[in-house]
Structure 1
Amino acid sequence: MDRVRTVKANGIEFGYLSMGSGPLALCLHGFPDSAHTWRHLLPELAERGYHAVAPFMRGYAPTGVPADGAYEGGALIADAVALHDALGGDADAVLIGHDWGALPVYGAVAFAPGRWRRAVAMAMPPIGAMLTSFFDYEQLKRSFYIFLFQTGLAETAATSEGFIEGLWRDWSPGYAAGEDVAHVKECLRDPENLAAAIGYYRAMLGTTPQTGHYAEEQAAVGRVGERPVLYLHGHDDGCLGADLVKGAAPHLPKGSRVQVLRGAGHFLHLERPREVNDAILRWLDR
């Protein structure tokens, strides 16, 4: 799994980790993270008979930086669909995403439901659910970095000593993130890659206007899809508080399930891999 392979999809050269053969299980990471975040899940998906693939998201080295500078949700959805095609996915493929990787999960099961049998999202509730509590004072404090990333100080702050380590420490209290932080820093070492990762947040709040290249996919952002989604969230999440999960169910497709894990923070799949893997595998087996 440590050898990085490459595939071209949606005009970008994607680096990815993979294991196994069978129906595609596409696993998408978030920020500040990398494809290595799926190191506990990929082997178990492979044992279950899946071709388990974890790409480095657009802009995260060794994946290329998109020439059009597109980081809006529609671009991420288009990437997921294009990777499905490039990696030989069919109607039995499943889609799994954490943090930023969860956004294209919701969008892809709405935009291209025929490509996915089931889906899993973690640590980023559906947009409709987040809007209900995102501007609560306590959540705004947790989200300081989002607003910082809209400014010209973003890159300086993100490369300052202890910044990424501090996010992991606050978001997953008690978790030893040394290995994960090292992978993140490798992905974002070059200024263009760091600017790409911050670009997701600038597109999120409109600081960077949408490119308009993914209008159809963008229309699926926030729309309720047609394939059931398992949503997992850590009770002690220091990035997006568990209060944001309360209104998630109505914004998920019919047959979906919401589960909050006690004793887990934002990176719940790394903190509690046995419990999270079991929940995912049971969901996919249904």
Structure 2
Amino acid sequence: MHTITANGLEFGYLAEGPPDGPLALCLHGFPDSAHTWRHLLPELAAAGYRAVAPFMRGYAPTSVPEDGAYQTGALGADANALHEALGGGPDAVLIGHDWGAAATYAALAQQPDRWRRAVTLALPPIPVVAAGFLSYEQLRRSFYIFVFQTPLAEMALNRAFVEGLWRDWSPGYDAAEDVRHVMDCLATPANIAAVVGYYRAMLDPSRHVPAYEAAQAAADKADKADKAGRPPVLYLHGVDDGCLSVETAGGATGPLEHLPPGSRVELVEGAGHFLHLERPGEVNAHVLGWLT
């Protein structure tokens, strides 16, 4: 475990690979931790990258932001600030799963020159999700988002709840180790409130912190103008994803309209939401092939 200060926060992070290698920043989602990249980090390191997996803002041991900023603009700013703090160059690459994917889209829109290529998993650009989100099946899968808007959210987000999400989202996968890591990240009431805060900021713009106004504006336009100036993205989605169905995610072509030129989409058979843990060999091959 290492620590570094970036964007006013102290981030805990895991790292493998040569200190002078190109930066590969790996961002986790919910309900997850930096340990989710335990299969990919050594592969990136073997390919010569300095592979770094931070714990996202509010997830212990990373500090809880005093300003309560959890909007995507702040998440993207974190990624770019970590690039700076870690001494990344224009050859750096960015990889994000779930909320980490949202942070990746925002970071690329805010400061595209920092990154050479990117990979996102399990969350396509927001317009793709929005097109199918209101179907009954997807609303049923997304019940937790609405639970998190209520005063009961902090009480609901316990071990049993986390175990249930992993069971539903990646059927058949043994998530015991991952759940232990998640609960370590939710060590205090402040950490739990932070994790819930991501979802409250997602649906309630009044929770956006004005200090990130410009960063948020860029993040909100991530699928629109000047995509030609952004690095290409490999998007990966598990066919059996129980959180965001492959149909809602746009299948094999839907995300491409909202990604930069030269991007690609790959569907991973026999994998759910945490596809990089369920099918690490196949996902790692996709990632390394794309980056190299």
Please say whether Structure 1 and Structure 2 have the same fold, judged by a TM-score greater than 0.5.
yes
Letter in structure 1 aligned against 2:10: E
- 2:28 is equivalent to residue 29 of structure 1: yes
For 1:207 and 1:249, the matched residues in 2 are separated by 27
**Contact 1:150–1:207 under 8 Å retained in 2:** no
**Contact 1:125–1:244 under 8 Å retained in 2:** no
Deviations 1:79-115 (A, max 9, x none): 0000000001000000000000001111111211110
- Structure 1 window deviating more from structure 2 (140-149 vs 204-213): it is 204-213
Residue 220 of structure 1: how far off its partner (Å): 2.0
Structure 1, unmatched stretches of 5+, are none
- 2:248 is equivalent to residue 244 of structure 1: yes
Deviations 1:207-250 (A, max 9, x none): 75211111121112242341100000000000011012222110
TM-score for both structures, normalised by structure 1: 0.96
- 2:9 is equivalent to residue 12 of structure 1: yes
1:89-104 to structure 2, matched below 5 A, reads 89-104=88-103
For 1:191 and 1:61, the matched residues in 2 are separated by 11
- 2:64 is equivalent to residue 65 of structure 1: yes
**Contact 1:142–1:238 under 8 Å retained in 2:** yes
Letter in structure 1 aligned against 2:238: G
Residue 184 of structure 1: how far off its partner (Å): 0.1
**Contact 1:235–1:261 under 8 Å retained in 2:** yes
**Quick one: structure 1 residues 90 and 28, their matched pair in 2 at CA, closer, same or farther if it must change by over 3 Å?**
same
For 1:253 and 1:218, the matched residues in 2 are separated by 19
1:129-278 to structure 2, matched below 5 A, reads 129-159=128-158, 162-206=160-204, 209-222=207-220, 223-224=222-223, 225=227, 226-246=230-250, 247-278=254-285
**Quick one: structure 1 residues 95 and 276, their matched pair in 2 at CA, closer, same or farther if it must change by over 3 Å?**
same
TM-score for both structures, normalised by structure 2: 0.95
**Which SS does the other structure have where 2:243 is aligned?**
coil
**Contact 1:202–1:208 under 8 Å retained in 2:** no
Residue 206 of structure 1: how far off its partner (Å): 0.3
**Which SS does the other structure have where 1:166 is aligned?**
helix
Letter in structure 1 aligned against 2:236: L
Letter in structure 2 aligned against 1:200: Y
Deviations 1:4-41 (A, max 9, x none): 10000000000000011201000000000000000000
**Which SS does the other structure have where 2:190 is aligned?**
helix
How big is the alpha-carbon RMSD for the aligned residues of Structure 1 and Structure 2? Answer: 1.0
Deviations 1:30-88 (A, max 9, x none): 00000000000000000000000000000000000001000000000110000000001
For 2:47 and 2:214, the matched residues in 1 are separated by 34
Letter in structure 2 aligned against 1:15: G
For 2:249 and 2:124, the matched residues in 1 are separated by 6
Letter in structure 1 aligned against 2:175: A
For 2:178 and 2:161, the matched residues in 1 are separated by 14
Letter in structure 1 aligned against 2:177: E
For 1:16 and 1:199, the matched residues in 2 are separated by 21
For 2:165 and 2:157, the matched residues in 1 are separated by 10
**Which SS does the other structure have where 1:220 is aligned?**
helix
